[in-house]
Structure 1
Amino acid sequence: MTEHASLAEHVDVLIVGAGPTGLALGVDLARRGVDALVVERGEGLSPGSRGKGLQPRTMEVFDDLGVLDAILAAGGDYPVGLVWQNGERVAEQNMFDPAETNEDSPYGAPWMVPQWRTQEILRSRLDELDGRVSFGREVTGIAQDADGVTVAFASGAPVRARYAVAADGGRSVIRRALGIGMTGETVDPNPILVADTRITGLDRDNWHIFPPQGDEGFLAICPLAGTADFQVVAQLLDDSAPDLSLDGVRKLVAARSHLAPEDVTEVRWASDFRPRAALADRFQQSRVFLAGDAAHVHSPAGGQGLNTSVQDAYNLGWKLGAVLRGEAPASLLDTYEEERRPNAAEMLGLSTKVHRGEARRGEATRQLGIGYRESSLTEETRAASDGLRAGDRAPNRTIAGVRLLDAFRGPHWTLLALGTAAPAVGNSDSDAVRVVEGPPTEPYGTGLFLVRPDGYVGWAGDTESGLAKYTERFNLGRPTGS
């Protein structure tokens, strides 16, 4: 135990950072009964629209976490892009490849919600679950030992936790304190200004695009769904510090569009950044995990950063819960880096290609195809499986009147028995596994499919042979007859 551990507040999990990543993890842990604390250096949730696009896979995650209705009420579809030149409308363009909403994926297209609103919704859900967020907690140090982690703050007592999660952004204090490197590249040498504004003189049915002209970079003005605001995004072609004031944004918008300076009536929030792609060398060091921007930094093009970050939390949450409840060995936590780091690397590459115009915002950016086929948690025992395989996302279907996304909702595992009898699985006094039985159903086909708490097929088989051994890894009980 560290020197100050006896004076510290004790929790099971300390989450540093109250952005979408930290709040989503807090929600997931709270519904699992884990004593977790989210700490944030700021005095409140961070403002700004930032990551405004929620991909279909993230919508499924939010369905499971119990915030989907609020997310749907707070946002809207992406508008069609409208290209302007010399004050004239010259072309329209879809910002994303067309996507169908179907039974497999009822949330087929990206959904726009300003990041500040997503954070508010997650915070509200965390409050409902009696989770905790503590603001004004600036981390100044971290120490680990065999039993846990102690985190010190600029003011107030330290916190002692069995595990800690760094969700404190691209400049992560925790990552730097641990000495974990971050390897990356500059995606675009030109800085970008982003601001939430109030603007008159533009319709809210289009994403207004002003291509580069002369020595001016591009300007894009997007109506933010569910608000009266427009998000202004502008490429800056020099290295001087951008003017983020109302006058500065007015001058920039007037110089690159047909709008007059006074058409920008308010700047509610503004920031700037340099697009880059970077990946942490490790996602775990002993009892500390990196998640979200602390682990991977994306160009905003394609809307992958926030979504990949939320899915980090979703992957880690059920594993922490299982280990802390004694249902799985601590080695289960090693699969977080094993599964998430390759996926983050893939999404980083995709974001960079979209930014450079080398890839479309299409099927891959929706993140429905992400899976864990190569994971040590994945077991595919069927003789032939040309379609869906263990490790893949479990697609939605309605089986014997049960909608699978409804069946998956909650912190449990789900056993699908399709065209075959369901073995008894799970302890008799536990609701750790829900069973859904029905006829053979595509794309699953016939067989048994054990779906993880995060919605991926962990084990698949033609018969129950081998299922018992798999479930014993998670203390789910032994199926009878195997």
Structure 2
Amino acid sequence: MPDSSIIPVLIVGAGPVGLIAALTLRKNGVPVRIIEKDSRVHVGQRGAAIMPRTQEIYKSLGILDDIHAKATPMNQVRMYRLPDGVEPLTTFVVEPGAEPSPARPYRNTSMLGQDHTEEILRTHIGRYDCQVEFGTALAGFRPEDGYVLAHVVKMVGDKEILEIIKCRWLIGTDGARGIVRKQLGLAFNGETLGATHHMVIGDIEMKGLDNKYWHYWGDMSTIMVMLRATEDDGIYFLFIGGHIDHAKVVAERAELERVIRIGTGRTDIQLGKVRYVAQYRPHVRMAVNFGKGRVLIAGDAAHIHSPFGGQGLNSGVQDAVNLAWKLSLVEKGVAAPLLLDTYAEERIPVIAEMLKATTKLFDSAMHVKAWDSANTEKAWRRGGELHMFGVNYRWSSIVVDERTPKEEIPVDPYGVSYSATDIVRAGDRAPNAPGLIILDSTGGQQRTTATSLFDIFGPSYHTVMVFCDGTDKPDQIWSCLGAYPLEILRKVLVCARSDDTRSWANIVNADVAVVDRDAHVHAGYQVQEDELVVIIVRPDGMIGGIVRSAHGVKQYFDGVFGAFSG
């Protein structure tokens, strides 16, 4: 009999990464507890940039509409001529706008303060009868045989109440200074950037500034940047650098006002509400591993870096969904715990490249001069690989590719050289495809509006897309899939034409059958009409397998569902 006193998963830290992990687990039916040492919700606009790839993940988790309802587009940067700080020196676009495409419906970065994102996530998690336990700190933990013993201290009024929690898995999303990584003894290798990188940051209400722009004075060695974070409350995310008394600026409002006035050359900017202000010195560090035994880490607990590029929260979100879908399968008893080893196997090479990219961006920005508008614009330019479409796991031990030779080692894990015209490979992000017509069991069109792949994919199952060749070969695929837990599979038949009655014979075996009316699926996945190809999309929206046979399907799912015995 299982021990009812053991909870499946304890998550330490209720920032976006911990909340994304919790929501993914709950959507997979796995009970969780989330504890947060702070007694109240986090305040701050940090982690405001939501990259297009993260928006796709939010779509899968069902929170994107709420995010977009509050988010704003990325602003133009306006730099000012000093010493008076009033005349614009240059105004430029940080991220050129891009129109949606069938494969990429979200092409532009959205801006939303981290506190708003957390509020949305807590609301969605609450629908699964799960609440964040604020004012509850992890004091320590001890791995036991088959579980982890966590010692937790909860503040009730002015009293400390000790609770001992038995959990099968403990996930540390408690940040770079958190206890989980430290107690695991995982080295946090890297560096602290130099004195010239020392800054004061904060969320501060500014009166007298136009909300249309990110306002920027000086150069990065004597920096004064005010980034508009929200349209409604006038709060700005503030960077102050240069030769200042950082501690005094943080401690004394009068000194903060003086530094802002001197740094901008402006007397018309009024300081309002100070939500928070703190010293900040960028670190570039990554843990040597992302877990040990039944204790795992994600987000800032596993890696920290420069804020330039907006990759931190977005990388943490990818950590969370990668870990959570695998842990869900382990908890359901259909995958062996060894599957969790692929979390670090896949994420560490990606994060290592991300650290290089963001450090390069930061160094570039630090050395550009305010008067050098061309190079300033180049240093601030965003897009490309920062959108994270090219992040891939092509070398992963659980990836199967019968169409393109599999990488033995990571070659370009962050997709720096990735092009939208490259052939789609196993381990890549799964493209979207709209305009799909759903068929009923007789081959007739259902009376519904057209759907898309992103409406078919989900975080609690693998999507198996079978492209028909008009033969009975798909029967072998369906028969092979019958050996695995069907509740965590979604079988999709993709027909090239609405008059393809040969393919319709396979409808009875599929959960969803669609006609690729506009050929977006075939084009996006480079599949020819009447070609038998099976695309296996993982719960995190990454392609796990591209195969041509039942043998390939079996190879992939045996690698993932290793514990399932039928």
User: What TM-score, normalized by structure 1, do the two folds share?
Assistant: 0.92
Q: Provide the residue aligned with 2:469 in structure 1.
A: 420
Q: Provide the residue aligned with 1:72 in structure 2.
A: 68
Q: Provide the residue aligned with 2:383 in structure 1.
A: 362
Q: Provide the residue aligned with 2:226 in structure 1.
A: 221
Q: Alpha-carbon deviation of 1:265?
A: 2.0
Q: Provide the residue aligned with 1:461 in structure 2.
A: 547
User: Given that residues 399 and 556 in structure 2 are in contact (C-alpha distance below 8 angstroms), is that contact kept between their aligned partners in structure 1?
Assistant: no
> Residues 100, 399 of structure 1: CA spacing in aligned structure 2 closer, same or farther, 3 A cutoff?
closer
Q: Provide the residue aligned with 1:30 in structure 2.
A: 26
What CA distance in whole angstroms lies between the structure 2 residues aligned with 1:15 and 1:102?
Answer: 37
What CA distance in whole angstroms lies between the structure 2 residues aligned with 1:164 and 1:218?
Answer: 41
Q: Partner of 1:431: helix, strand, or coil?
A: helix
What CA distance in whole angstroms lies between the structure 2 residues aligned with 1:430 and 1:302?
Answer: 41
What CA distance in whole angstroms lies between the structure 2 residues aligned with 1:340 and 1:163?
Answer: 19
Same amino acid, percent of matched pairs: 31
What CA distance in whole angstroms lies between the structure 2 residues aligned with 1:202 and 1:289?
Answer: 44
Q: Provide the residue aligned with 1:404 in structure 2.
A: 453
Q: Provide the residue aligned with 2:53 in structure 1.
A: 57
What CA distance in whole angstroms lies between the structure 2 residues aligned with 1:40 and 1:211?
Answer: 38
Q: Partner of 2:91: helix, strand, or coil?
A: strand
Most deviating of 459-468 and 327-336: 459-468
What CA distance in whole angstroms lies between the structure 1 residues aligned with 2:165 and 2:310?
Answer: 34
Give the aligned residue type for 2:111.
M
Q: Cα deviation per residue 1:353-379 (whole Å; 9 max; x = unaligned)?
A: 111127752211111110110000100
Q: 1:156 aligns with which of 157, 162, 171?
A: 162
Q: 2:426 aligns with which of 390, 394, 413?
A: 390
Q: Provide the residue aligned with 1:207 in structure 2.
A: 214
What CA distance in whole angstroms lies between the structure 1 residues aligned with 2:482 and 2:41?
Answer: 40
Q: Alpha-carbon deviation of 1:188?
A: 4.5
Q: Cα deviation per residue 1:117-164 (whole Å; 9 max; x = unaligned)?
A: 111111111101222321111222111022111111233212111011
Q: Provide the residue aligned with 2:446 in structure 1.
A: none
Q: Cα deviation per residue 1:223-271 (whole Å; 9 max; x = unaligned)?
A: 2134322222211435641422432332221111143276112212222
What CA distance in whole angstroms lies between the structure 1 residues aligned with 2:162 and 2:405?
Answer: 59
Within-5 A mapping of 1:115-134 = 115-134=114-133
User: Given that residues 208 and 269 in structure 2 are in contact (C-alpha distance below 8 angstroms), is that contact kept between their aligned partners in structure 1?
Assistant: no
User: Given that residues 77 and 225 in structure 1 are in contact (C-alpha distance below 8 angstroms), is that contact kept between their aligned partners in structure 2?
Assistant: no
Q: Provide the residue aligned with 1:16 in structure 2.
A: 12
What CA distance in whole angstroms lies between the structure 1 residues aligned with 2:226 and 2:151?
Answer: 42
Q: Alpha-carbon deviation of 1:100?
A: 3.9
User: Given that residues 99 and 108 in structure 1 are in contact (C-alpha distance below 8 angstroms), is that contact kept between their aligned partners in structure 2?
Assistant: yes
> Residues 404, 476 of structure 1: CA spacing in aligned structure 2 closer, same or farther, 3 A cutoff?
farther
Most deviating of 8-17 and 59-68: 8-17
Q: Alpha-carbon deviation of 1:426?
A: 4.8
User: Given that residues 393 and 455 in structure 1 are in contact (C-alpha distance below 8 angstroms), is that contact kept between their aligned partners in structure 2?
Assistant: yes
Q: Alpha-carbon deviation of 1:409?
A: 2.8
Most deviating of 344-353 and 401-410: 401-410
C-alpha RMSD of the superposition: 2.4
Q: Provide the residue aligned with 1:111 in structure 2.
A: 110
Most deviating of 250-259 and 447-456: 250-259
Q: 1:444 aligns with which of 498, 512, 525?
A: 525
Q: Alpha-carbon deviation of 1:287?
A: 0.7
User: Size of the alignment, in residue pairs?
Assistant: 470
Most deviating of 336-345 and 438-447: 438-447
What CA distance in whole angstroms lies between the structure 1 residues aligned with 2:466 and 2:5?
Answer: 46
User: Given that residues 204 and 236 in structure 2 are in contact (C-alpha distance below 8 angstroms), is that contact kept between their aligned partners in structure 1?
Assistant: yes
Q: Provide the residue aligned with 2:179 in structure 1.
A: 173
Most deviating of 156-165 and 230-239: 230-239
Q: Partner of 1:241: helix, strand, or coil?
A: helix
Most deviating of 165-174 and 256-265: 256-265
Work out which of the two has the higher radius of gyration on C-alpha atoms and give 1 or 2.
Answer: 2
Q: 1:283 aligns with which of 290, 294, 300?
A: 290
Give the aligned residue type for 2:89.
V
What CA distance in whole angstroms lies between the structure 1 residues aligned with 2:205 and 2:324?
Answer: 38
